[in-house]
Structure 1
Amino acid sequence: MTVDYRPAPGTIPTHPGVYRFRDADRRVIYVGKAKNLRNRLNSYFADPKGLHERTRRMVTTARSVEWTVTATEVEALQLEWTWIKEFDPRFNVMFKDDKSYPWLAVTVGEEVPRAQVMRGNRRKGVRYFGPFGSAWAIRQTLDLLTRVFPVRTCSSNVYRRHQRLGRPCLLYDIGKCSGPCVGHVSPEEHRSIIDEFNSFMAGDTSRVRRELTSQMQRASENLEFERAARLRDDMAALDKVLEQQVVVLSEDTEADVVGIADDELVAAVQVFHVRGGRIRGQRGWIIDKPEPVDEAGIVERFLQQFYGGSGDKAPREVLVPVLPKDTEALKTWLSERRGSGVDLRRPQRGDKRALAETVAKNAQEALQRHKLKRAGDLTARSKALEELADALELPQAPLRIECYDVSQSLGEDVVASMVVFEDGVPRKSEYRRFVVKGEQKDDLSSLKEVLTRRLSRLGDQPAGSPEGDEEDSEPKGGFHYAPQLLVVDGGQPQVAAAEQVFAELGIDTINLCGLAKRLEEIWLPGEEFPVILSRTSEALYLMQRVRDEAHRFAISLHRSRRRKKMRASALDGIPGLGESKRKALLRTLGSVKNIKASTVEELQTVEGVGPKLAQTVHDHFRKEEE
């Protein structure tokens, strides 16, 4: 690839720094950092065949590149984020909340601070707790806590109105406000209550409970039973708040736990905020991936943007699924922003590892919800089919799409799947599974066998079970509908193999394509170059979902057959134990482990197993143990 703006050899420094690509209108389209600017920038001008499609598109869109040298990697990290915020480059990954999370905010900068629900950008002079799942959860928490900490929760207008009236509002009458508006407590006394409230929300719960317990005991000893009952109810309110915050780690733990799930086009990031060993909040993001970035790259960009742009300070620990490449530079940068040390690491075992797995599951579910939301939208499905027809130059939108995938393990247990989408929605009653029977067990030969078996039976009347047949080939008579588009999982070789089957069977009414996973390219028969759909295209989301469903369906059968084969192999070689009796043993006793642990009498309870065979099976496993 030759571009007229490539810097002359030797002119790029070898120091750390930050670089910017600009387009023809001088807009910044990409910002990056590097330990060695020369090595990094030269990689963009390498052979285009070795570049990711989106990287190639960025380089060809750009018309100039410039750089700034920094003294250290930490300075480069800071400058990169400053420029990303300033220029918002179109080819950089940007994190945006998948929803606007509410926070419990305390306006500590005011003379008489107020506790309230806040969303949006952070403000100066405000202390934030959370985020919470909903504003209702914050109001419920405030309703309980104002019994113990009667802080102001009213708006400025309400506060000033009661100042003018000279009488407090209903919250004061029911004991959920201390009445600073009419001087029942001074601003200094109210500030003291606010400090206690903030201390409790920050995780210092034990001290507050000890103080309340001590006051309740003193009131009881002084025969102040009404006050003691009030303090008892206050403690119950605190306990109810604490019950809503799950204890997951030791009380001194202060950590953010990050989980990631991604595919070629989008990624989901979830963060659990753990303070005082309790989950205090959860946040999530869905991001598009305009640049090729792996999980370590997503982690690096997330830490940079979350702790650099939102005003959040990193806690003592940040637990991530994989460590970024510039771990030490990131730790130094996070520590500088926090004002003390930050431990950035990947949990290996114990409770923190278990919590990290839970966060990762939440990220996976968020990604799946995002995809299903798009797939479930009728308008989006219609748009996807129209875009696909235009991109592949089809005569009409493909209302029935069939996709095929082959699954194997070194030529063993070779199976294939056929999934069907009608009007952009899975039609599971039409799914079929195939067990490959041919002598050649490579992917291309297996694909040709499966397509031949399917396409040779166009027009058969429908029959068969919804999920196909695991042990035999396709159910008879289940292939009467022809697809408008047949998709194979793979690139040029797979499309050529399918095209050969079409030619042998004389089929010319079905459109054919292949979807290659590496760059999400769509290959058409006889074409030298693939079709590249936009990363935001609804058509590409649909094609991805069709391909992923075919892969899931194929691999589920492959794993099932391997498990059965491994279970049965432990029973091979036992004299007198044939196929039917092996199945009877597994069906009755459940597993090979249970068979090994069974006595001769227990083995005889299996239908078809007599005393002699039971003894033989028992002795066989005893010899193995010896």
Structure 2
Amino acid sequence: MADPSTYRPRPGEIPTEPGVYRFRDAHGRVIYVGKAISLRSRLNSYFQDISALHPRTRTMVQTGASVEWTVVRNEVEALQLEYAWIKEYDPRFNVKYRDDKSYPYLAVTMGEEFPRAQVMRGDKKPGTRYFGPYAHAWAIRETLDQLLRVFPMRTCSKGVFNRAHQVGRPCLLGYIDKCAAPCVGWVSPEEHRAIAEDFSDFMAGNTGHFVKDLERRMQAASKELDFETAARLRDDIVALQRALEKSAVVLPDATDADIFALADDELEVAFQLFHVRGGRVRGQRGWVSEKGAEQLADIVEHLLLQVYGDESREGVPREVLVPVAPSGRANLEAWLSELRGARVEVRVPQRGDKRALLETVARNAQQSLARHKVARSGDLTARSQALQELQEVLDLDEAPLRIESFDISHVQGSDVVGSMVVFEDGLPRKSEYRRFIVRHGTGDDTAAMHEVLTRRFRHLVTAPAPTESDVRSGEQSDAVSGEQPDATSGEQPIGQPVGPDGRPNRFAYPPNLVVVDGGLPQVNAAAAALSEIGVTDVSVIGLAKRLEEIWVPGQEFPVILPRTSEGLYLLQRVRDEAHRFANTFHRQRRSKSMTVSRLDGIPGLGPARQKALLRAFGSVRRMEAATVEELTEVSGIGPALAVLVHARLTGDQARVPGVNLATGEVVD
């Protein structure tokens, strides 16, 4: 580990203004991001007597190799920039809040022409309204089934919708009055969007006027002796009431609030969040995190940044109730108010219904922490034992905290692809998985492995890591926008955490251990690839499937670990995950190559123009029946190309003399 005094800034160099700072390791990777009212005061605290620092902070400053900072105008800008950097770099030593499960949401895709209601997980997408999260997907489907009687909006996939549009008949939901069937024109796009907006308004908590409106219409129909309509409206009211019964009223006056509670011990902290909309609990979430040197007030602040950083205006409530006042509460309230477009209050309830609800959420947090510790105790011990065992058996300088595994997949030399999976601290890090299309695929696994590893490591020695002065020259500014750059799409030098365009690299930093699937030939090919490009500080091993033996380059005999070894079990997991990832990619490539369209091979008709034609006509059969003039009405299709497409689909060779319609080639 490095001596912090070797990269400590010179006296008086650090400004006293507010700002955000980053620690980087020897590979240039950002390992910690923080903010401060006074950068000089905060950074100087890291370079005092390290024995007085918290163990986690001490490890961080000893792992670091440089520190840099950005000056901003005020604390709110520092808050925004800190969140953007933490999201961009995912620093190793920042507190991470991991969901204790993957929660489903009820999503309404308002960004589409015909909005769709569906169950969604994962990252939130722009143009989509989310309600929840719910504990179970079946709870969403039950609620949705009840509400479709009153709000008959689309729930089908794009494929089902397009097929119904082509054949002119709706699906079963249209015939049983649980869909307004915009696919066949039973309602206009504007009418269907109004249904979706009413549905979203109901889910957001504005429920009272819908029930009252249905009751008024039912009574009016009854007075006019239209008992069939009155009965249908009565059933709609019952459906709404059943949907409302699934979420009990917990706060009066239609309160919109998010209630956070925590339970902690010396090592970890568990959070629970209840979403209350219209006085009813609409969803629940949970996080578990390791505790570092931060105080609970700082942890609560970081949690709120993570929860609301990606939320739309509708996702931020009027009140945020927390068990501990976050540090910088005024700045948080200003930031949340800016997100919502109206005042947001962050406070600690002291008495009444809100305090009672906070205590209920706190009990849930205590149970969540207890379940997590029981589940993780054995897993953490096993992972630590596995890493230590691999370090001893393979004679490594340090434990392999980052392991990368590579595999090749093909069928008789066709569609050759490679995969790279990453395990950090014994756990998969799927955001850093990579897929490779082997450019010179011959069916030779060793040659393909050589190419994949060369492409992975070729920049490691060709691009020097940036110096502290190089980084600072482009980083210090008087103001920041808080915008986060997009991920780069090209291969960038591994030694540089940020490319020339300021975007983060695809490959973060070199691994401690490389695992390839195979025996001695595959290991030697991998070692040769690394040796050719000058990488000498990365260990390479191979794990053969037959006897699960470990092959090391230059050794005549393999290393045999007991079948009960935790180290062997970890290597098997890494190898099998690389195999699964490679096979999945290969199947996708093979399926795509086997799908042949009648439009393929027409000169000048690429994928974009094919999509435009299919969007305009719906199918190749309708395209075949179209005239040349109708084809030219599609954007991007000129007269000459329209004649060629029409001739290919109809087989009319006379329309395009001198052209082979099968291949598109000019013939004599």
User: For the Cα contact (< 8 Å) 1:101–1:134, is it kept in 2?
Assistant: yes
Q: Which amino acid aligns with 1:194?
A: A
Q: Measure how far apart 1:263 and its partner are.
A: 2.3
Correspondence for 1:296: 297
Mapped partners of 2:129, 2:390: distance in 1: 53
Mapped partners of 1:3, 1:108: distance in 2: 55
Answering whether residue 340 of structure 2 is matched by residue 338 of structure 1, we say: yes
Correspondence for 1:329: 331
Q: Measure how far apart 1:84 and its partner are.
A: 0.9
Mapped partners of 2:132, 2:386: distance in 1: 43
Q: Measure how far apart 1:96 and its partner are.
A: 2.5
The alpha-carbon distance between structure 1 residues 147 and 158, as it changes in their structure 2 partners (threshold 3 A), is same
Q: Measure how far apart 1:123 and its partner are.
A: 1.1
The alpha-carbon distance between structure 1 residues 310 and 209, as it changes in their structure 2 partners (threshold 3 A), is closer
Counterpart of 1:63 in 2: which secondary structure? strand
Answering whether residue 37 of structure 2 is matched by residue 35 of structure 1, we say: yes
Correspondence for 1:111: 113
Q: 1:374 aligns with which of 373, 376, 390?
A: 376
User: Alpha-carbon deviations, 1:267-301, whole Å to 9, x = none?
Assistant: 21111111111111111112233x32222121011
Aligned identity (percent) is: 60
Counterpart of 1:325 in 2: which secondary structure? coil
Q: Measure how far apart 1:387 and its partner are.
A: 9.3
Correspondence for 1:545: none
Counterpart of 1:31 in 2: which secondary structure? strand
Higher RCO (C-alpha under 8 Å, 6+ residues apart) = 2
User: Alpha-carbon deviations, 1:378-431, whole Å to 9, x = none?
Assistant: x7666778999999xxxxxxxxxxxxxxxxxxxxxxxxxxxxxxxxxxxxxxxx
User: For the Cα contact (< 8 Å) 1:107–1:115, is it kept in 2?
Assistant: yes
Q: Which amino acid aligns with 1:334?
A: L
- Matches of residues 156-305 of structure 1 in structure 2 within 5 Å? 156-289=158-291, 291-305=292-306
Mapped partners of 2:69, 2:385: distance in 1: 43
Correspondence for 2:138: 136
Q: Which amino acid aligns with 1:360?
A: A
User: For the Cα contact (< 8 Å) 2:4–2:62, is it kept in 1?
Assistant: no
User: Alpha-carbon deviations, 1:427-466, whole Å to 9, x = none?
Assistant: xxxxxxxxxxxxxxxxxxxxxxxxxxxxxxxxxxxxxxxx
TM-score by length of 1: 0.60
Answering whether residue 93 of structure 2 is matched by residue 91 of structure 1, we say: yes
Mapped partners of 2:290, 2:258: distance in 1: 23
Correspondence for 2:5: 3
Correspondence for 2:449: none
Counterpart of 2:309 in 1: which secondary structure? helix
Mapped partners of 2:252, 2:164: distance in 1: 45
User: Alpha-carbon deviations, 1:566-603, whole Å to 9, x = none?
Assistant: xxxxxxxxxxxxxxxxxxxxxxxxxxxxxxxxxxxxxx
Q: Measure how far apart 1:11 and its partner are.
A: 1.9
The alpha-carbon distance between structure 1 residues 326 and 178, as it changes in their structure 2 partners (threshold 3 A), is same
Counterpart of 1:3 in 2: which secondary structure? helix
User: For the Cα contact (< 8 Å) 1:251–1:278, is it kept in 2?
Assistant: no
Mapped partners of 1:54, 1:380: distance in 2: 17
Q: Which amino acid aligns with 1:110?
A: E
Correspondence for 1:529: none
- Matches of residues 169-568 of structure 1 in structure 2 within 5 Å? 169-289=171-291, 291-309=292-310, 311=312, 313-375=315-377
Q: Measure how far apart 1:48 and its partner are.
A: 2.3
Mapped partners of 1:345, 1:78: distance in 2: 20
The alpha-carbon distance between structure 1 residues 381 and 4, as it changes in their structure 2 partners (threshold 3 A), is closer
User: For the Cα contact (< 8 Å) 2:205–2:278, is it kept in 1?
Assistant: yes
Counterpart of 2:235 in 1: which secondary structure? helix
Mapped partners of 1:384, 1:118: distance in 2: 35
Answering whether residue 73 of structure 2 is matched by residue 71 of structure 1, we say: yes
Answering whether residue 14 of structure 2 is matched by residue 12 of structure 1, we say: yes
User: Alpha-carbon deviations, 1:318-342, whole Å to 9, x = none?
Assistant: 1111011211111111111222111
User: For the Cα contact (< 8 Å) 2:116–2:153, is it kept in 1?
Assistant: yes
Correspondence for 2:48: 46
Q: Measure how far apart 1:91 and its partner are.
A: 0.4
The alpha-carbon distance between structure 1 residues 228 and 2, as it changes in their structure 2 partners (threshold 3 A), is closer
Mapped partners of 2:328, 2:108: distance in 1: 36
Mapped partners of 1:123, 1:385: distance in 2: 40
Q: Measure how far apart 1:131 and its partner are.
A: 1.1
Mapped partners of 1:84, 1:384: distance in 2: 26
Q: Measure how far apart 1:243 and its partner are.
A: 0.6
RMSD: 2.2
Q: Measure how far apart 1:266 and its partner are.
A: 2.2
User: For the Cα contact (< 8 Å) 1:260–1:295, is it kept in 2?
Assistant: no
User: Alpha-carbon deviations, 1:127-163, whole Å to 9, x = none?
Assistant: 1111111111111011000111111111111111111
Counterpart of 2:31 in 1: which secondary structure? strand
Paired residue total: 389
The alpha-carbon distance between structure 1 residues 2 and 151, as it changes in their structure 2 partners (threshold 3 A), is closer
User: For the Cα contact (< 8 Å) 1:178–1:190, is it kept in 2?
Assistant: yes
Mapped partners of 2:225, 2:272: distance in 1: 52
Q: Which amino acid aligns with 2:304?
A: L
**Structure number with bigger Rg:** 1
Q: Which amino acid aligns with 2:307?
A: F
User: For the Cα contact (< 8 Å) 1:159–1:181, is it kept in 2?
Assistant: yes
User: For the Cα contact (< 8 Å) 1:3–1:60, is it kept in 2?
Assistant: no
The alpha-carbon distance between structure 1 residues 173 and 42, as it changes in their structure 2 partners (threshold 3 A), is same
Ranges in structure 2 where 5+ consecutive residues have no aligned partner: 392-565, 567-668
Answering whether residue 35 of structure 2 is matched by residue 25 of structure 1, we say: no
Mapped partners of 2:390, 2:250: distance in 1: 52
Correspondence for 2:64: 62
The alpha-carbon distance between structure 1 residues 389 and 26, as it changes in their structure 2 partners (threshold 3 A), is closer
User: For the Cα contact (< 8 Å) 2:4–2:61, is it kept in 1?
Assistant: no
User: Alpha-carbon deviations, 1:53-106, whole Å to 9, x = none?
Assistant: 111111111111111111100111111111111111100012232222111111
The alpha-carbon distance between structure 1 residues 381 and 86, as it changes in their structure 2 partners (threshold 3 A), is closer
Mapped partners of 1:5, 1:67: distance in 2: 14
Q: Measure how far apart 1:122 and its partner are.
A: 1.1
Q: Which amino acid aligns with 2:361?
A: V
Q: Which amino acid aligns with 1:242?
A: L
User: For the Cα contact (< 8 Å) 1:121–1:310, is it kept in 2?
Assistant: no
User: For the Cα contact (< 8 Å) 2:263–2:366, is it kept in 1?
Assistant: yes
Counterpart of 1:260 in 2: which secondary structure? strand
Mapped partners of 1:148, 1:63: distance in 2: 62
Q: Measure how far apart 1:36 and its partner are.
A: 0.9
Correspondence for 1:122: 124
User: Alpha-carbon deviations, 1:222-273, whole Å to 9, x = none?
Assistant: 1111221111111111111101111111233111111111223222111111
TM-score by length of 2: 0.56
Mapped partners of 1:386, 1:202: distance in 2: 48
Q: Which amino acid aligns with 2:335?
A: W
User: For the Cα contact (< 8 Å) 1:105–1:127, is it kept in 2?
Assistant: yes
Correspondence for 1:620: none
Counterpart of 2:5 in 1: which secondary structure? coil
Mapped partners of 1:122, 1:76: distance in 2: 25
User: For the Cα contact (< 8 Å) 2:17–2:72, is it kept in 1?
Assistant: yes
Q: Measure how far apart 1:311 and its partner are.
A: 4.9
Mapped partners of 2:47, 2:338: distance in 1: 35
The alpha-carbon distance between structure 1 residues 23 and 385, as it changes in their structure 2 partners (threshold 3 A), is closer
The alpha-carbon distance between structure 1 residues 205 and 383, as it changes in their structure 2 partners (threshold 3 A), is closer
